[in-house]
Amino acid sequence: MLGKWFDSFLLPPLGWIQVEVTSHCNAACVYCPRTVYRDIWLNRNLSFSTFERLSSAFGNTKMIFLQGWGEPFLNPELMQMIQVAKDAGCKVGTTTNGMLLNEKIVSQLVKSGMDVLAFSLAGVDENNDALRRGTRMENVLGQIRLLNKIKKYLGKEQPAVHIAYMLLRSRLDDIERLPLLLQGLAVSQVVVSTLDFIPCNSSSHSN
C-alpha cells in the first residue's frame, strides 16, 4: 500500500496511459507493421498479473487506453483489466476491429462502465475490407448499432462510440463520404490519422 502511494508520488501526472494488452490479431491490415513483419512478429498477451503491477501508476492519470498493435479482445483477461482500471477511478477505453464482438461481450462492456469504445476503419466501402483484410465494414457498423441498442436497453450513456479512421493516400477522397456513412450511429468522436510509420516500401503507396 505504501509502495503504491510512493510510486504515485514519484510519477508526474500523466494525461493518459496506453497499455498494449495483446500483440495478437485476427486481421491482417496491409499497412500494419504486424502484417508486414508477420514472420518475426511476437504474438503475446499481456498477463493480468503484469497489468495489476502497472496499476500502481493509475492514480497518476485520468485515462487508461487498452490498445496497441493487436486486437484487444483476443486477450481473455481484458474484462478483468477494464475492471481494475475502473476500480482505480480511471476512464477506460480501447480500439477494436469489431470482428470479435457479440451481444454478450458488448453487454459486459456496457455494464463494466467502460468509457470509450473506438472502432477502426480505413475506408467507406468495400475498399475498407481490402485494406483491412480480415475485417468487414458492414460488421463494424452492425456492432456499433448493437452497442447503441444495448446502451439504450440498459439506460447507459457509455461507452462513447469513437471511430479511429486511417486516412491513406490511395483513399483520400473517401473522407468526404465518412460523415454520411456514420450518420445515425451516435458517433461522438472521429479521430483521423495518417501513417506515422511505413514498415516497408510496398506499403508506402498507402501513406
Q: Where does this chain bind ligand SF4 (CB under 6 A)?
A: 25, 27-29, 32, 34-35, 69-71, 97, 120, 132
Cβ(73)–Cβ(26) under 8 Å?
no
Question: Which CB, 114 or 166, lies closer to ligand SF4?
Answer: 166
How many Å from the N-terminal Cα to the C-terminal Cα in the chain?
Answer: 47
Looking up cell 474484462 gives 79
Distance CA 63, CA 149 (A): 25
Looking up cell 508486414 gives 36
Cβ(142)–Cβ(99) under 8 Å?
no
CB of 22 to ligand SF4, least distance (A): 9
Question: Which CB, 97 or 206, lies closer to ligand SF4?
Answer: 97
Question: Which CB, 6 or 204, lies closer to ligand SF4?
Answer: 204
Question: Which CB, 25 or 64, lies closer to ligand SF4?
Answer: 25
CB of 95 to ligand SF4, least distance (A): 8
CB of 57 to ligand SF4, least distance (A): 24
CB of 117 to ligand SF4, least distance (A): 14
**Greatest C-alpha distance within the chain:** 55
